[in-house]
A = this chain, B = another copy of it.
Amino acid sequence: MPNIREVASRAGVSVATVSRVLNHPERVSPKTKEHIEAIMKELDFSPNVFARSLNLKRSNTVALVIPDIVNPQYMEIARGVEQVAHEKGYNLLLCNTEKNRVKEQDYIRMLIDKKIDGIILAFTLLQEQDFDEIRRKNIPLVLFGQNILNENINSVYSDFREGAFLAVSHLINLGFRKIAYIGGDSDHLENRDKTLGYTEALLSGGLTVSKELMIEGADDVDSGYLAALKLLKLTPPPDAVFAANDLMAMGAVDALKTEGLRIPEDISVIGYDNIRMASLLEPKLTTVSWPVYKMGLISARILIDEVESEEDNPQAQNIYLRPRLKIRKSCGHETRVSEIFDQPT
């Protein structure tokens, strides 16, 4: 593996000149530049990134920390982030916390030690003070999918409270009165926000909030299945259920159908996320959509801009994208369904 010294000597120049064609090509005369480049090609030379990083104190690598690598919604984030990172010549370190607070903290520690250029924390389980070290070391940080904890931290988020409110209000408008809720893991702030949206919608619709209608799931298909089974034990059972994500909604639909109920004739189901699969379910799932992929792109752009900016304390950005109701077939009401389907989306 040739190094810069070898290139220099073969080209009959100093290492500084070679380094210059690598980093400031404009400061080298076109002739020597071409010559040196030819030699680089010939020797198949590529600069040693470690030495480079040691000097520059940058790794050209950013990290995405996510709770669950197999959740398709989270992977949409990764797709967006990877896209931008690759475009801009950065590498993407993927950190899967498995919703484990300790693993998340470990990872952050490790990322700081590694002198990562920037970090995107998606749906973090951590508190503001846990970011202190990141901020103290001036490592650019973007919080994804999180309500603003602090205006001084970059965040790209969608209002999950509002989304839940939308979903439940839709159910109420449809005429349902006993609306169950399968919530996500309440360790996550966005799930607590959804719960808020659920109760607010109930209240503002003149309904009462009942603990027995609220079950906490674990964000996956199976817990949705189990929760629905539990809800069916109530007498009378709920006439509609709002699940905090599509995965749980799909599990619930599966359970409901297994128990012989028809959807939406006997019971309505509404989800959250609008994952691709949600539209393949029978019946196609009504859900709340929010622009994950786009938010992934945006997060990465904000992050990398900040990495590359000279400023020490750039103004934090708080980007906010709205959720939207996606009406399909899994909710309905005998007398009102046509009326609803005629309304614009």
Among A19-69, those with CB < 8 Å from B are: 46-51, 53-54, 57, 59, 61, 69
A88-126 vs B, CB cutoff 8 Å, 1 = contact: the mask equals 000111111000000100010010111100000000000
Taking the closest CB of chain B, its distance from the CB of A123, in whole angstroms, is 17
A237 at interface, CB cutoff 8 A = no
Set of chain B residues within 8 Å of A326, measured between Cβ atoms:
none
Taking the closest CB of chain B, its distance from the CB of A166, in whole angstroms, is 25
A78 at interface, CB cutoff 8 A = yes
Q: Which of B46, B69, B96 contacts A113 (CB 8 A)?
A: B46
> Would you mind naming 7 contact pairs between A and B with Cβ atoms under 8 Å apart?
A69-B79, A70-B76, A72-B75, A91-B93, A92-B95, A221-B280, A281-B282
Set of chain B residues within 8 Å of A50, measured between Cβ atoms:
50-51, 53-54, 57, 59, 115
- Pairwise interchain contact B92-A93, C-beta atoms closer than 8 A: yes
A249-265 vs B, CB cutoff 8 Å, 1 = contact: the mask equals 01101100100000000
A82 at interface, CB cutoff 8 A = yes
Q: A78-B96, A251-B280, A257-B282 are in contact. List 20 more A-B contacts (CB 8 A).
A: A47-B113, A49-B113, A49-B114, A50-B51, A50-B54, A51-B54, A53-B53, A54-B54, A69-B79, A70-B75, A70-B79, A78-B94, A82-B94, A91-B93, A92-B95, A221-B276, A221-B280, A277-B280, A280-B281, A281-B281
The residue in A51, A72, A94 that gathers the most chain B C-beta atoms within 10 A of its C-beta is: A94
Taking the closest CB of chain B, its distance from the CB of A190, in whole angstroms, is 21
Closest 10 CB pairs of A and B: A50-B54, A94-B94, A282-B282, A50-B53, A46-B113, A82-B96, A69-B79, A277-B277, A254-B280, A250-B280
> With A69-B75, A72-B70, A113-B46 given, is the CB distance from A92 to B91 under 8 Å?
no
- Pairwise interchain contact B93-A114, C-beta atoms closer than 8 A: no
A185-226 vs B, CB cutoff 8 Å, 1 = contact: the mask equals 000000000000000000000000000000000000100000
Set of chain B residues within 8 Å of A115, measured between Cβ atoms:
48-50
Q: From A51, which residue of chain B is reached at the shortest CB distance? A: B54
Set of chain B residues within 8 Å of A221, measured between Cβ atoms:
276-277, 280
A121 to B281 CA separation, bound complex (whole angstroms): 33
A23 to B113 CA separation, bound complex (whole angstroms): 16
A53 to B48 CA separation, bound complex (whole angstroms): 10
Among A267-302, those with CB < 8 Å from B are: 276-277, 280-282
Q: From A93, which residue of chain B is reached at the shortest CB distance? A: B91
Set of chain B residues within 8 Å of A57, measured between Cβ atoms:
50
Q: From A55, which residue of chain B is reached at the shortest CB distance? A: B50
Taking the closest CB of chain B, its distance from the CB of A284, in whole angstroms, is 9
Q: From A110, which residue of chain B is reached at the shortest CB distance? A: B91
Set of chain B residues within 8 Å of A250, measured between Cβ atoms:
277, 280
Q: From A114, which residue of chain B is reached at the shortest CB distance? A: B49
Q: From A54, which residue of chain B is reached at the shortest CB distance? A: B50
